[in-house]
Amino acid sequence: SSVEMAKAMAQLIDNEVFRAFATYAAIVLLKMMLMSLITAYFRITRKAFVNPEDTASLGKGESAKKYLRTDPDVERARRGHLNDLENIVPFVGIGLLYALSGPELSTALLHFRIFTAARILHTFAYLIPLPQPGRGLSWAVGYSVTFSMAYRVLRTAWLL
Amino acid sequence: SSVEMAKAMAQLIDNEVFRAFATYAAIVLLKMMLMSLITAYFRITRKAFVNPEDTASLGKGESAKKYLRTDPDVERARRGHLNDLENIVPFVGIGLLYALSGPELSTALLHFRIFTAARILHTFAYLIPLPQPGRGLSWAVGYSVTFSMAYRVLRTAWLL
Amino acid sequence: SSVEMAKAMAQLIDNEVFRAFATYAAIVLLKMMLMSLITAYFRITRKAFVNPEDTASLGKGESAKKYLRTDPDVERARRGHLNDLENIVPFVGIGLLYALSGPELSTALLHFRIFTAARILHTFAYLIPLPQPGRGLSWAVGYSVTFSMAYRVLRTAWLL
């Protein structure tokens, strides 16, 4: 049974569509995790914190309190992070179901690669920031890819 | 091996519980994605933006700055979106493990359908808004369904 | 086919790494869901709400409006919840792919257990609050575990 399981898992990991999904899902999740580091970088360099305990090393009493403030760069990074959550979570959930629905490898790769590129562009467009419609378009492209995968999942899986 | 994999995936997609999960997971994730469009709709119709680059087409300098403001409808849609993230993410993660734990189809469908209905009601209750306890109850129903699925997952999977 | 599927699912659920993943993923997702209850507890005991319809039972007109306010404990619980979303979502997504990549059980358990312990500590560090670097370290430990799993996923799955 352990041998059979190992065989079943080897099959899954041998499947090229599933391997492609695992690769791009890991990349976009790591990209999303990177937003935490960018927010932390801006909090430290701009000295803009939200928790009193985070400013203890910067001084005592009133002199530390002045660092409990918002900063435009910190807030921008946080909005980019939340936008990632709102868009990368559906991609990973729907993408897993899509990868299991048996699409052509070339079609699947097209979906995964366009989504990944669009979300990386979205982050640059948000942080630089690029003039609109740069950010809007990169958002819409990623959104459309997830929508297209959801359409195939529903067509394949819908219980009649 | 590619043939065996295709067979294994065909089995997964043939499994009625897994197909039901794929259907309802895709529906609630699409419903969550819809919140982005609702927020964008309110931002545009109420002219309430947060990024300076988003107001560039509305005027120059001071005349555009007045659109960098919060609006009650925009904030309400954003809270509904965040509440979806907080509740639909656990449903999808725990629901996948639940679907693989071998529940009865009728029991699984009951869980998936009640959760989906509760979250759709929650969105209407939040956006209209309905008087409490409308929103609170729809939240609690969805929460309880996910909790019930987690209980079965832990009972089935727990390493002793 | 239904018999074969049942066999394939029994194999998956018999696999110790997958069972370990299911256990710890369910635990951290439940922990994340607990943050909703903690936020609700603070909203009710501190009488600090954000939706007008939530204060209707506390009085009419102006006397209810004074409860539409922010409270430090409510905001702290909300930040803890958002931090969970930002960190537990990547753990569940990458952890599932990691569990399917065939790691040693002892290595996998080490990853899952350290992450789970780190996130529980993070919640205590945030809510008490503990002086820094308590919260920062518990965050960094969980982050590193997910990063380590992503490294194995990419090494195993990367399409060459």
**Does C90 lie at the interface with A, CB-CB under 8 angstroms?**
yes
CB B26 within 8 A of CB A157: yes
Q: Specify the pLDDT at position C60.
A: 79
> A140: burial class by Cβ within 10 Å (0-12, 13-18, 19+)?
middle
Interface predicted TM-score (ipTM): 0.92
For the stretch C135-153, pLDDT in tens is 999 999 999 999 999 999 9
Q: Specify the pLDDT at position C59.
A: 82
**Among candidate residues A12, A60, A70, C33, the one with its CA nearest the CA of residue B4:** A12
Residue with tokens 């430090």: C72
**Does A19 lie at the interface with C, CB-CB under 8 angstroms?**
yes
**Does B10 lie at the interface with A, CB-CB under 8 angstroms?**
yes
**Does C8 lie at the interface with A, CB-CB under 8 angstroms?**
yes
State how far the Cα of A53 lies from the Cα of B97, in Å rounded to an integer.
38
Average pLDDT of chain C, as a whole number: 92
For the stretch B101-132, pLDDT in tens is 989 999 999 999 999 999 999 999 999 999 99
Tokens of B80: 């509904």
Res. B87: pLDDT tops 70: yes
Res. B2: pLDDT tops 90: no
Show residues of chain A in contact with B57, CB under 8 Å: 132
Res. A160: pLDDT tops 60: no
CB A51 within 8 A of CB A80: no
Q: Specify the pLDDT at position A5.
A: 55
Q: What is the pTM of this model?
A: 0.94
Parse chain B into domains and list their residue ranges: 2-159
Comparing alpha-carbon positions, the chain B residue that sits nearest to C28 is: B90
Tokens of B55: 């107001």
Average pLDDT of chain A, as a whole number: 92
Q: Specify the pLDDT at position C58.
A: 87
Residue B58: C-alpha distances to residues B18, B69, B91, C6 (Å): 48, 14, 40, 59
Query: B2-159, which class in CATH?
Result: mainly alpha
**Does B106 lie at the interface with A, CB-CB under 8 angstroms?**
no
What SS3 state is found at C68? strand
Q: Specify the pLDDT at position C57.
A: 87
Pick the residue of C4, C12, C15, C115 with the most A CBs within 10 A to test the interface with A by mutation. C15
Angle subtended at Cα A130 by Cα A125 and Cα A132, rounded to the nearest 5 degrees: 100
**Does A92 lie at the interface with C, CB-CB under 8 angstroms?**
yes
For the stretch A74-113, pLDDT in tens is 999 999 999 999 999 999 999 999 999 989 999 999 999 9
Are the Cβ atoms of A100 and B54 closer than 8 angstroms?
no
CA neighbours closer than 13 Å in the CB half-sphere of residue C43: 15
Are the Cβ atoms of A92 and C93 closer than 8 angstroms?
yes
For the stretch B23-54, pLDDT in tens is 999 999 999 999 999 999 999 999 999 999 99
Straight-line distance from the first to the last Cα atom of chain B, in angstroms, rounded to the nearest whole number:
34
Comparing alpha-carbon positions, the chain A residue that sits nearest to C73 is: A51
Angle between helices B105-127 and B16-45 (to 10 degrees): 10
For the stretch A36-78, pLDDT in tens is 999 999 999 999 999 999 998 888 778 888 999 999 999 999 9
Report residue A142's pLDDT band, with 50, 70 and 90 as the boundaries. Answer: very high
Report residue B11's pLDDT band, with 50, 70 and 90 as the boundaries. Answer: low
Show residues of chain B in contact with C112, CB under 8 Å: none
Report residue C11's pLDDT band, with 50, 70 and 90 as the boundaries. Answer: low
Which of C2, C25, C50 is nearest residue B93 as measured by Cβ atoms? C25
For the stretch B13-24, pLDDT in tens is 678 999 999 999
pLDDT mean over C106-128 = 98
Q: What percentage of chain C reaches a pLDDT higher than 90? A: 79
**Among candidate residues B65, B142, B149, B37, the one with its CA nearest the CA of residue B99:** B149
Show residues of chain B in contact with A86, CB under 8 Å: 32-33, 35-36, 81, 85
| φ/ψ of residue A23, rounded to 5 | -65, -55
Q: Specify the pLDDT at position A32.
A: 98
For the stretch C41-92, pLDDT in tens is 999 999 999 999 999 888 877 888 899 999 999 999 999 999 999 999 999 9
Res. C22: pLDDT tops 50: yes
Q: Specify the pLDDT at position A158.
A: 73
Q: Specify the pLDDT at position B59.
A: 82
CB B42 within 8 A of CB B74: yes
Report residue B1's pLDDT band, with 50, 70 and 90 as the boundaries. Answer: very low
CB A80 within 8 A of CB A125: no
Pick the residue of C11, C79, C91, C135 with the most A CBs within 10 A to test the interface with A by mutation. C11
Show residues of chain B in contact with A79, CB under 8 Å: 50-51
Comparing alpha-carbon positions, the chain B residue that sits nearest to A125 is: B53
Residue with tokens 């899954």: A12
Residue C59 DSSP one-character state: -
Residue C49 DSSP one-character state: B
Res. C14: pLDDT tops 90: no
State how far the Cα of B23 lies from the Cα of C5, in Å rounded to an integer.
19
CB C98 within 8 A of CB C22: no
Could you tell me how many residues make up chain C? 160
Q: Specify the pLDDT at position C98.
A: 96
State how far the Cα of B76 lies from the Cα of A78, in Å rounded to an integer.
19
Angle subtended at Cα C4 by Cα B158 and Cα C6, rounded to the nearest 5 degrees: 30
Q: For residue C101, what are the contacts with CB-CB under 8 A and spacing of at least 6?
A: A13, A22, C152, C153, C156, C157
Comparing alpha-carbon positions, the chain C residue that sits nearest to B150 is: C26
Q: Specify the pLDDT at position B160.
A: 43
State how far the Cα of B2 lies from the Cα of B5, in Å rounded to an integer.
5
**Among candidate residues B28, C86, C101, B80, the one with its CA nearest the CA of residue A150:** B28
Decide which of B25 and B159 is more confident.
Answer: B25
Which amino acid, residue B49?
A: F
